[in-house]
Amino acid sequence: MAGSAAMYHAMTSLGFASASPYKGPIKLNGDPKGASVLILGAGLAGMTAALELRNAGYKVQILEFNDRAGGRNWTLRGGDSFSELGGFRQTCEFESGLYINPGPWRIPYHHRALLDYCKRFGVSLEPFIQLNYNALIHSSRAFDGAPQRIRAVKADFQGQVSELLAKVTQQGKLDEAVTKEDQEVLLHALRSWGALDHDYKYKANLISAGFRGYARDPGGGLDAIPLSGDPLALSEILKSRVWRYLQNFANYNFQTTMFQPVGGMDMIGKAFAKEVGDLIRYNAKVTRIQQDDRGVTVSYVDTAGPATVQLAKADWCICTIPLSILSQLPVDVSAAMKSAIDAVPYAGSVKVGLQFKRRFWEEDEAIYGGISYTDLPIRQIAYPDSGFNRSGRGVLLGAYLFDGANAYEFTAMTPAERVARTVEFGAMIHPQYRDEFENGVAVAWHRVPFVLGCSGDWSEEARATHYRDLCQIDGRIALAGEHASALPAWQEGAILSALDAIARLHHRVMRT
């Protein structure tokens, strides 16, 4: 329902997830005396490790499968091409300046490590609008299928629940739980919080309209007087289940303020690559990882000429290869670590970006940024958080499916079918789709060759059994990445896991 929020919320309830504990740049004191580290993967975890280890005096080399750095830190713009498993190749046709982030697309304010690296590298940030009260909540089985404004659903639900609680309070039903003095304060609070009238009723009037919006907004001249609209009935809201979407805005991981890099999420990956790009060997597909008590040897092939196996050697190895890939490779690690690698499946996710002739969501519906939610298979429609009030084309995120049957169904489609279905479903919420749509691009993460999934999908049992084994330094190999963190699916988790791994590796090097 809420994309990665669903998984993160579950992790939070199990006590695994929390705010970033980052306290500032890592300090690796001591001379490694020429020790070498081979890093597998030039995503954020790999590049973080490379940057800090080189700064500490290590000899560092990175092997990267793709012809670019960043991994899932990825932005698609007009002219970009990519292939997925099954042989389908897509070329993004967006107008210059427009883009979509197929992977991470937002940064919470409490992801301090990622924000610190953005500051150190000069990556400009702008607000990411998670909550837009004028965006939509849609249920195909309620309100005659008509989308409702988030502000109206929130105000009507909150107001009518406040009215019920006020009634209970006035009837003395809370005497055992709340003192008389507190009951008086509670009634005042409910009147204010729930937009109740002087009789503690929530009804169609200018008080409730001040929260849910007006049937006719305040104006000027003869028709200046505003008109209130009729609230949605509480029974309708309850039966519709649309109240479920309201929790997204209260979830700690999605509270204001959130950020995005100006110009696309890959501005972060490019900034890292500017620092360590000279260490990266691109188009290097790892085929085997071996180790003994003297060092690590990694076999790899050039993706352009895979017939010739090449070797890379180092004293130590930081492996950030996703477990979905690593589990398929011959790796010289202990049985405990191998079991941990094999224990973690990867969640499915699909994102579809759509370009339209004009920004109709702004021009017709005054939706500037934010996310609309629906029970249709597309789940979410996210509006661009920059370029407001401009004429011309615009790109929005037409679908964000995270795990579950809908994600697997869309993954099984061809890219063209995914785009067509996204337009079909989106037109049920925004009829303008039919006339304004121009082109689209669809990324199904289970078909992305370098990761085969969106993120590590730990179960409670697997984390309890295998997590510590996954994060231990095994001989001369340590793993890092979002899968080796309590912040799965977040860039912060990738960075923190890398910092933790290199700190422990450096301690071992200094000790030996």
Which domain does 438 fall in, by range? 76-134+256-263+348-447
One-letter amino acid of 181 = E
- pLDDT tens-digit series, residues 82-126: 999 999 999 999 999 999 999 999 999 999 999 999 999 999 999
Q: CB atoms < 10 A from the CB of 511, how many?
A: 7
Same domain, 433 and 295: no
One-letter amino acid of 293 = D
Contact (Cβ atoms closer than 8 angstroms) between residue 116 and residue 492: no
Overall pTM > 0.85? yes
What burial class does residue 268 get, using C-beta atoms within 10 Å of its C-beta: 0-12 exposed, 13-18 middle, 19+ buried?
buried
Q: State the average pLDDT over residues 426-436.
A: 98
Q: Which two tokens stand for residue 210?
A: 């001040």
On whether residue 247 sits in a domain, the answer given is no
Q: State the average pLDDT over residues 55-80.
A: 98
Helix/strand/coil for 318: strand
Same domain, 366 and 235: no
Q: State the average pLDDT over residues 199-221.
A: 96
On whether residue 12 sits in a domain, the answer given is no
Same domain, 356 and 443: yes
Q: pLDDT-derived band of residue 19, with 50, 70 and 90 as boundaries?
A: low
Domain of 112, CATH number, reads 3.90.660.10
What DSSP string runs through 431-459? TTHHHHEEEEEEEEGGG-TTTSSSSB---
Please give the pLDDT value at position 7.
42
Percent of the chain scored above 90 by pLDDT?
91
Contact (Cβ atoms closer than 8 angstroms) between residue 507 and residue 31: no
Q: How far is CA 199 from the centre of its chain?
A: 44
Same domain, 160 and 235: yes
Helix/strand/coil for 380: strand
Please give the pLDDT value at position 6.
44
Please give the pLDDT value at position 104.
97
Please give the pLDDT value at position 284.
98
On whether residue 307 sits in a domain, the answer given is yes
- pLDDT tens-digit series, residues 394-414: 999 999 999 889 999 999 999
Please give the pLDDT value at position 250.
86
On whether residue 26 sits in a domain, the answer given is no
Same domain, 291 and 425: no
Please give the pLDDT value at position 248.
85
Among 31, 47, 98, smallest CA distance to 354 is for 98
| pLDDT of 16 over the 80 cut | no
How far apart are alpha carbons 422 and 494 in whole angstroms?
Answer: 31
Domain final position from 429, 447, 465: 447
The mean predicted confidence, pLDDT, of the chain is: 94
On whether residue 377 sits in a domain, the answer given is yes
Same domain, 274 and 397: no
Termini Cα distance of the chain: 49
On whether residue 142 sits in a domain, the answer given is no
On whether residue 10 sits in a domain, the answer given is no
Domain total for the chain? 3
Q: State the average pLDDT over residues 415-436.
A: 98
Place of tokens 């994309």: 3
Helix/strand/coil for 240: helix
Same domain, 162 and 207: yes
Contact (Cβ atoms closer than 8 angstroms) between residue 99 and residue 250: no
Please give the pLDDT value at position 178.
87
Same domain, 235 and 285: no
Please give the pLDDT value at position 18.
52
Same domain, 236 and 182: yes
User: What are the C-alpha distances in Å from 480 to residues 96, 317, 349, 422, 503?
Assistant: 35, 10, 21, 35, 12
**Range in 9-23, 243-257, 304-318, 328-342 with the lowest mean pLDDT:** 9-23
How far apart are alpha carbons 144 and 139 in whole angstroms?
Answer: 9
Q: Which two tokens stand for residue 339?
A: 């079991």
Domain of 217, CATH number, reads 1.20.1440.240
Q: State the average pLDDT over residues 170-189.
A: 90
On whether residue 503 sits in a domain, the answer given is yes
Same domain, 60 and 81: no
Domain of 322, CATH number, reads 3.50.50.60
Please give the pLDDT value at position 493.
97
How far apart are alpha carbons 188 and 199 in whole angstroms?
Answer: 11
Please give the pLDDT value at position 12.
40
Contact (Cβ atoms closer than 8 angstroms) between residue 453 and residue 7: no
Same domain, 469 and 378: no
Percent of the chain scored above 70 by pLDDT?
96
Same domain, 334 and 355: no
